[in-house]
Amino acid sequence: MRAILMAILMLVLPVWWTLSLQQRIEGERLQLKYGGAHVTREMRDVIGQGMAIGLLAGFRGVVADFLWIQSHSHWEKKEWLQQYSDMQVVTTLQPQSVLFWDSGSWHMAWNIGYAERVDTNNYTLAQGIKREMVWHERARQFLLRGIENVPNRYELYFKLGWLYDQKFKDPCLAAEQYGIAERFPDVPAYVVRMHCRKLAECGKVAESYECWKSIWFQDHNKVPHIWSIVEREIRKLENDMNIPEPQRVFPKQSHKA
């Protein structure tokens, strides 16, 4: 019986391995067919036959750049949905490009959103604000997709925090995203300070105080912070929280002196 099982395995395993290898090769071919992007019927309708041929030839970057330029012409003509469609395709073709995710979300939340709000076709101010908020949400979803594709860099977390801060007026969500961004080794110093500030605005005053202190106790010669700002914020929080004099980073007496 054991000999029979071994014989069956000797026959089946090579066939299974060959099929598995063929499937992997076919998968790579399909992926490379459009330069690594999954192209749907809708995408082919957007980019047109000529650029679809370009994708077939492997010119994914060229097609993406052309579509990005084309999206700007839609902006000039106030063709917001066409611009949005182009930006969606561009990021599908180049999902690792932080620039496209960042610039696309900026167009939606700031440029298109503002244009929708002040559009003279709005019957009321409330209608304009409602239309603007639609684009704020599109920008948010766009950045979330960008983070899914580029999770290992700080930029899109920061941009999402900035969107929550400036457009959604939500300091708690902004602080959350700034907090994620600041964990990356190459993050600019101002992102860390913005995280500390938004914690206070969110009502997490004690966390904000610890955040500012963690900055202050770093080596001032190695970390490029604006130290006068850090000192000012710590002093303010120590006063607001009525921190006992011996526990303060900056005792009141030293400030008077």
| Span 196-242, pLDDT tens digits | 999 999 999 999 999 999 999 999 999 999 999 999 999 999 999 99
**Domain residue limits, the chain:** 33-148, 152-257
> Which whole number is the average pLDDT over 10-26?
45
- pTM higher than the cut 0.85: no
Instruction: Say which CATH topology domain 152-257 has.
Output: 1.25.40
Per residue in 87-130, pLDDT (tens digit) is: 998 998 899 999 999 999 999 999 999 999 999 999 999 999 99
Give the other-Cβ count within 10 Å of 247's Cβ: 8
> What is the tens place of the pLDDT at every residue in 148-161?
999 999 999 999 99
**145, pLDDT greater than 80:** yes
Q: What would the DSSP string read from start to end of 106-142?
A: HIIIIIIHHHHHT-TT-SSHHHHHHHHHHHHHHHHHH
Across the chain, mean pLDDT equals: 83
Segment 35-41 mean pLDDT = 51
Query: What was the pLDDT predicted at 69?
Result: 84
Enumerate residues 6+ apart whose C-beta is below 8 A from 72: 83
